[in-house]
């Protein structure tokens, strides 16, 4: 009987949970089924409030949200099983990233917090749940992020072509895959969709700028862009990682965006994401021939156009053209990391996170 795995993730947009059911093998794997489960609006509002105003979050609030989020992750897994027709006893493990509410890898006592109680997932599905993937890497001096580069290497490494994989979620990250067996590297380049989405919500009362149409209507403000690019994060040497607690509405306000044409700001933010990704690739992966894009940002036509313009020597394309739907790459990665944990194999890439050595990632929560 084949071994199936489930991967669960919710990103910095906090709009809900992506769930995938995969089977690993020599193909190298098959994505059997997918499902998405939106967060209840009141839960999402509370999660956003915790991220935006962490000083107001009590221990009681955090405990309640951990349980509530865990229930949602459990329901996403059950929905996936129901729609796929696969029985829980055929699934070897669930890999749950959880919901990040704080990421502080550069503190004197670094930490990262992902909620979504894995015991609720394990007991509620009858499947062992692997969670807390970031903690071991941070304990070894790493950033705890990004965690997807080893999966990118496993699936997308080429013997003949230098590639980069770019995941554009709320935060954008890049994985450098030199041809052959050179060391992989990866890091968060900065904002992906988070600032674009925030600005669209503020001015158009929409969740996101579909296809980047609004950004395409505006004109990039070079002076505003220059000020944004001067942010110290962009000049920081990798390994590095960031999150919504840094690139947020307060960051926008600090750069004086309210004094500019809203469509022009959207165009500028689109260029900011494109330029910071391209600059990151040019700085550590000169000569990259192929850039494979995944995550929600792949659907932003204007963003992908600007990224291509900033990387004229490379082919910029979706991971769909290389065998995996771009919307499900990260969820698949956490199913893969669950498999690695159960097989006692390392899951991190020290060249990406800065950890002192490879490590098995994740804590296993039994179903029984």
pLDDT at 13: 77
> Per residue in 235-250, pLDDT tens?
999 999 999 889 999 9
pLDDT at 210: 96
Q: Which fold has domain 149-326?
A: Nucleotidyltransferase; domain 5 (3.30.420)
In angstroms, the CA 115 to CA 102 distance is 10
Say if residue 92's pLDDT is above 70.
yes
CATH number of 4-144+328-365: 3.30.420.40
Nearest C-alpha neighbor of 348 from the set 108, 171, 167, 185: 185
> Per residue in 41-69, pLDDT tens?
999 999 999 988 888 899 999 999 999 99
pLDDT at 208: 94
> Per residue in 269-285, pLDDT tens?
999 999 999 999 999 99
pLDDT at 62: 97
Give mean pLDDT, residues 30-48: 95
Contacts of 295 (CB under 8 A, 6+ apart): 166, 167, 168, 169, 172, 192, 193, 326, 327, 329, 330
Say if residue 207's pLDDT is above 70.
yes
pLDDT at 27: 67
pLDDT at 1: 56
Q: 4-144+328-365 and 149-326: same fold?
A: yes
In order of 197, 198, 199, 296, 341, the CA distances from 204 in angstroms are: 10, 10, 8, 19, 44
Strand 163-168 and strand 171-177: the pairing is: antiparallel
By three-state DSSP, how is residue 231 classified?
coil
pLDDT at 191: 97
pLDDT at 176: 97
The residues spanned by each domain of the chain are 4-144+328-365, 149-326
By three-state DSSP, how is residue 171 classified?
strand
pLDDT at 25: 77
Question: What sign has the CA pseudo-torsion 235, 274, 149, 194?
Answer: positive
- For the chain, what is the mean pLDDT? 95
Percent of the chain having pLDDT more than 90?
A: 92
pLDDT at 245: 86
**Which of the two residues, 13 and 295, has the higher pLDDT score?**
295
pLDDT at 2: 66
Nearest C-alpha neighbor of 137 from the set 340, 365, 344, 362: 362
Give mean pLDDT, residues 283-305: 96
Q: What is the pTM of this model?
A: 0.95
In angstroms, the CA 70 to CA 49 distance is 18
């Amino acid at each position: 009987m084949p071994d199936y795995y489930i991967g669960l993730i919710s990103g910095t947009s906090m709009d809900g949970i992506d769930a995938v059911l995969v089977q690993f093998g020599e193909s190298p794997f098959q994505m059997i089924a997918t499902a998405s489960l939106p967060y209840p609006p009141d839960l999402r509002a509370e999660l956003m409030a915790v991220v935006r105003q962490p000083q107001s979050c009590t221990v009681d609030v955090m405990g309640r949200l951990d349980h509530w989020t865990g229930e949602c992750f459990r329901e996403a897994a059950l929905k996936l099983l129901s729609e796929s027709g696969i029985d829980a006893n055929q699934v070897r493990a669930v890999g749950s990233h959880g919901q990040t509410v704080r990421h502080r890898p550069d503190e004197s006592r670094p930490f990262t917090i992902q909620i979504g109680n894995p015991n609720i997932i394990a007991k509620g599905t009858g499947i062992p749940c692997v969670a807390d993937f970031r903690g071991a890497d941070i304990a070894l001096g790493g950033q705890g992020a990004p965690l997807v580069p080893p999966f990118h290497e496993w699936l997308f490494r080429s013997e003949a072509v230098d590639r980069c994989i770019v995941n554009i979620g709320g935060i954008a990250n890049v994985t450098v895959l030199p041809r052959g067996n050179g060391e992989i590297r990866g890091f968060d380049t900065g904002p992906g969709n988070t600032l674009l989405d925030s600005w669209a919500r503020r001015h158009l009362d929409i969740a996101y700028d579909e296809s980047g149409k609004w950004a395409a209507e505006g004109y990039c403000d070079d002076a505003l862009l220059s000020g944004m690019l001067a942010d110290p994060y962009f000049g920081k040497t990798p390994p590095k990682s960031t999150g919504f607690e840094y690139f947020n509405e307060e960051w926008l306000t600090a750069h004086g965006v309210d004094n500019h044409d809203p469509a022009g700001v959207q165009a500028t933010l689109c260029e900011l994401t494109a330029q910071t990704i391209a600059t990151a690739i040019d700085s550590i992966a000169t000569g990259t021939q192929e850039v494979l894009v995944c995550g929600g940002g792949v659907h932003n036509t204007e963003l992908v156009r600007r990224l291509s313009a900033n990387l004229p020597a490379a082919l910029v394309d979706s991971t769909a053209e290389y065998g995996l739907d771009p919307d499900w790459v990260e969820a698949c990665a956490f199913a893969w990391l669950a498999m690695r944990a159960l097989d006692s194999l390392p899951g991190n890439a020290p060249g990406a996170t800065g950890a002192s050595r490879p490590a098995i990632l994740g804590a296993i929560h039994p179903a029984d």
